[in-house]
Chains A and B, each alone.
Chain A
Amino acid sequence: MDKSWQVTLIYFITHLGLIFFMYPGDIIASTEDGHWIPIVLGFAVHLGAIAVYMKGLVRLGNRDIVSMYLGMGKGVSLLFLLPITVYFLLICVVSVRCLSEIMTVVFLSSTPLWAIMFLFLFISSYIAFKGIRSIFRTGLLIGCINVPVILFFFSASFQNVDWRYVYPLIGKSSFLTNPSYLESFFVFAGGFLFLGFTQPYVAYRKRHIVFGALALLPFFVFSVYIPILTFGQATASTFNFPFVVALDTISITWIMFDRITLFLLLSLISFMMLYLSIVLWSAMRVVNQSFPSLKPAYILLAIPLFVFIVCLYIPDWKDITEFYWWGTYLRFYILVAVPLSTCFFAGRIRKRKVGL
């Protein structure tokens, strides 16, 4: 059955969850002016990667990429599956630790960190445990509940905007080598990988994903520009999470709650949970297909446990950013190698079939 709509929605909302936390800070730190250039550049890379990846997946037909790599022999699967797994684990560690840190900074000052991390991991592994189809359906429900909230507060966040802060429009190209800019690719890499995993369970039309990606562009742009337009570049660069602070400056007087914009953040966190559950599930698939003797349920218990322990051993924010930075090389490897190799191998498989 065609599930394009669901897959696109999941793709959309998981990226929404990813965008608003670290991305604005990274982009603002990476350049002083003309922020739209790095955003659009990063987005173009993302779009290109997706287009190639989708092309490969179409050629691959009704299989997932894990079985494709495994079918290509031990060397190939080690070359690709090992980095993918490590990268998934890294994503889990970084996002869980990051989110819980953000939560204690902006919201729950007296709740211990481990409790928040436990909650995040518990929920995402529970959802992952229910299987990919269930994840998609959860996404549908939670999307119906949360997307209106998010759109409402997102449009409300233009309240304090001074459009003249847009200028100057043209900036230098020095951002290309800025570590913050390279880190910002966290948003672009990794979020799309799951599209190659869903194949035998959920079929979808690949073109829809590109539309979904295009719909994300305004969110990429404004997640960066809302803090800039509210505060100006000089001020926005002093914040760790510019978008979160920008949200805090909004006052909507006719609602009975005061810091209402926190609801936007928390809805986004629900999306992040969904993203984490997809990552956990994908990691489980890789491990499970490489070692079929391991039971999926045990893998799904072991991975979050491992992540939890690693998270507990990260003491402070500096180490998180370090972790974040380590992931960069892997990130670019994934962003480039996985789509290209999928396209290449899928083409070969197809040719072989035709040849027979």
Chain B
Amino acid sequence: MHTLIQEMKNKFSGDDDFFALEETFMDSRVVLAGFNTLLDIATTKLGLQAYIEAAVLTGTARDELKAELGEVCDRSDSAKARLSLLTGKLLICFEDDGSCVIMEPTPKPLNRAIEPPINENVFQGSLNSFTEDIHANIGIVRKQLLTDNLRVGSYHIGTEETTKISLLYYEGRTNMEFIHKLVGQIQKNRSRQIENLQQLSKKIMGFPSWVLISKFSQTELPQEAANFLRKGRAVLFIDRLPIALVVPSLLWDVFFLDSDRNLPLPLMLFLRALRLIGAWLTVVLPGLYVALVSVNPEVLRIEMAISIAQTRVGIPYPAIIEMILMLFILELIIEASIRLPKNIGPTITMVGGIILGQAVVQAKLVSNLLIIILAATTISNSTIVGLQHSLSLRISKYVIVIMAAIYGVLGILEGLLLICAYVASLNTYGIPYIGFSSKKDEIKHG
């Protein structure tokens, strides 16, 4: 028997869905191998039959037929054969001369259709979203960007388990130095295995892992991804991940959405200003409450001071504990409502609403004003673009709350300064996070 087939059979001996069928093509014995869970064997065979009949009729030579069927590969290249089998290809081995052909069969329909986005909402923009299949994703992007300057590079990462990633960029608009750096990193570390984005950013890209803000901006929306490409950013796709990863990520991704530009200019500016204010409020409000209630009550107007004091009568712990407690419950509610299936989700909303809205106040556990602050914080936290950004924002507000508890209003402003310094210190291969363009800053020193 064919050595390659024997090798594959040994390799996949534990897999019931692996098949190796013996057939006769044009008087020569061949073996068809593949996974029947990945390809539709009956239709594929029909297709093959049609090829062969046509070949017989026109009198095509066998070698030409091989070339027509697919990619002819060397028999010794078992790694390639294995990879093609795993990615759902059909392996055709000719027994007499030992050559092999990797053919694109009719696949089993394992992908979902292109659907509207789930994690991001679109306001007046195109409704497509990326899906699991990397080819479909690249195709969608090509549909968005009808240009011959779009470049796509694909890489298989990992030796034991292979992941396909694709790098897209807009030639002529992208900083090529940056692309070379990216490609170099991928090439250098292509043998490392990745299972998630943390590993991608650490093992492949070499980014530090202790960062609050991801080096990748994520988007589900082809329109946004295409726009990032136009602006000279690179987009990474990972097979089976329905997200486009935009590198380098910039601060303004948090506030500016491309579909804003479908609105008239003043409205667009209004929306963006709202998001900026929202982010600012999220960070400052809880800290302000703590600072004003426990450290610097003189900043409050007397009327407010008295009414806050009134609502705090009988609350047994200091403002900082009160705040952290309620923020923690709020985080739990947010996390729980993500975890729960959609049909139970409303329960959490209801129960959370009861806790936050009425019960804690009536039970004299927290003050009225705190609930208002909490609600305002949560709402304003959600105004910014992208879920992972709002997470970083949620974490950074704790820094301010703690500093406000120690230093009062001074702590808030210094905390803001700390956060600004942190954000300003981030860069992706020398491209600063807070820059407007993805142009490279000078070489990193000191």
How many A-B pairs with Cβ below 8 Å? Answer: 111
Quick check: A201 and B445 within 8 Å, CB to CB?
yes
Q: Is the CB of A108 within 8 A of B421?
A: no
Interface size on A, residues (CB 8 A): 41
Question: How far, in whole Å, are A49 and B417 apart by their CA atoms in the complex?
Answer: 31
A208 to B280, CA, bound (A): 31
Q: Which residues of A contact B304 (CB under 8 A)?
A: 256
The answer, yes or no, to whether A266 is at the interface (CB within 8 Å) is: yes
Whether a CB of chain A sits under 8 angstroms from the CB of B160 is: no
Q: Contacting B409 at CB < 8 Å: which of A200, A263, A273, A285? A: A263
Q: A111 touching B425 by the CB < 8 A rule?
A: no
Asked whether any CB of chain A lies closer than 8 Å to the CB of B338, the reply is no
Chain A residues positioned under 8 Å from B406 (CB to CB): 111, 115, 119
Question: Would you call B409 and A262 a contact (CB within 8 A)?
Answer: yes
CB pair B442 A201 closer than 8 Å: yes
Distance in angstroms between the alpha carbons of A127 and B423 in the assembled complex:
11
The answer, yes or no, to whether A319 is at the interface (CB within 8 Å) is no
Bitwise, B409-446 to A at CB < 8 A (1) or not (0) is: 11101101110110111000000101000010110111
Report chain B residues within 8 Å CB of A141.
420, 423-424, 434
A69 to B414, CA, bound (A): 36
Q: Does the CB pair A258–B425 fall under 8 Å?
A: no
The answer to whether B417 touches A108 (Cβ under 8 A) is no
A123 B407 Cβ-Cβ under 8 A: no
Given contacts A126-B421, A132-B446, A142-B420, contact A267 B413 (CB under 8 A): yes
Whether B423 and A266, one on each chain, are in contact in the complex, defined by CB atoms closer than 8 angstroms, is no
- B301: chain A residues at CB < 8 Å are 256-258
Q: Which one of A131, A200, A262 has the highest number of Cβ atoms from chain B below 10 Å of its Cβ?
A: A262
Q: Is B295 part of the contact surface with A, judged by Cβ < 8 Å?
A: yes
Kindly state whether residue A140 has any CB partner on chain B within 8 Å.
yes
Tell me whether B424 and A137 are in contact (CB under 8 A). yes
Q: Does A260 contact B (CB under 8 A)?
A: yes
Q: Report Cα–Cα, A127/B439, bound state, in Å.
A: 23
**Which A residues are in CB contact (< 8 Å) with B152?**
none
Q: Verify A138–B420 contact, CB threshold 8 A.
A: yes
Also in contact, A266 and B300, with CB within 8 A (given A126-B421, A133-B442, A296-B446): no
Q: How far is the CB of A340 from chain B (nearest CB, A)?
A: 28
Q: Which of chain B's residues have a CB closer than 8 A to the CB of A137?
A: 424-425, 432, 434
Residues of A within 8 A of B280 (CB): 145
Answer yes or no: B298 CB below 8 A from chain A CBs. Answer: yes
A145 to B281, CA, bound (A): 13
Q: Does chain B have a CB within 8 A of A269?
A: yes
Q: B442–A108 contact, CB under 8 A? A: no
Interface check A52, CB cutoff 8 A: no
Residue of B nearest to A111 (CB): B407
Q: Which residues of B contact A200 (CB under 8 A)?
A: 445
Supposing A138-B421, A142-B417 touch, asked if A258 and B410 sit within 8 A by C-beta, the answer is no
For residue B296, which residues in chain A have a CB less than 8 angstroms away from its CB? 107-108, 262
> Given A108-B408, A270-B413, A270-B416, A262–B299 Cβ distance below 8 Å?
yes
Among B300, B409, B425, the residue within 8 A (CB) of A130 is: B425
User: Do A258 and B418 touch (CB < 8 A)?
Assistant: no
| Contact residues of B between 385 and 424, Cβ < 8 Å to A | 406-411, 413-414, 416-418, 420-421, 423-424
Q: Is A354 an interface residue (CB 8 A)?
A: no
> A residues near B, CB below 8 A?
1, 103, 107-108, 111, 115-116, 119, 123, 126-127, 130-134, 137-138, 140-142, 145, 200-202, 256-260, 262-263, 266-267, 269-270, 273-274, 281, 285, 296
A-B residue pairs in contact (CB < 8 Å), sample of 22? A1-B441, A107-B408, A111-B407, A116-B407, A123-B418, A131-B425, A131-B446, A133-B444, A137-B432, A137-B434, A140-B424, A141-B424, A145-B416, A201-B446, A260-B299, A262-B296, A263-B409, A263-B413, A267-B413, A270-B417, A281-B446, A285-B446
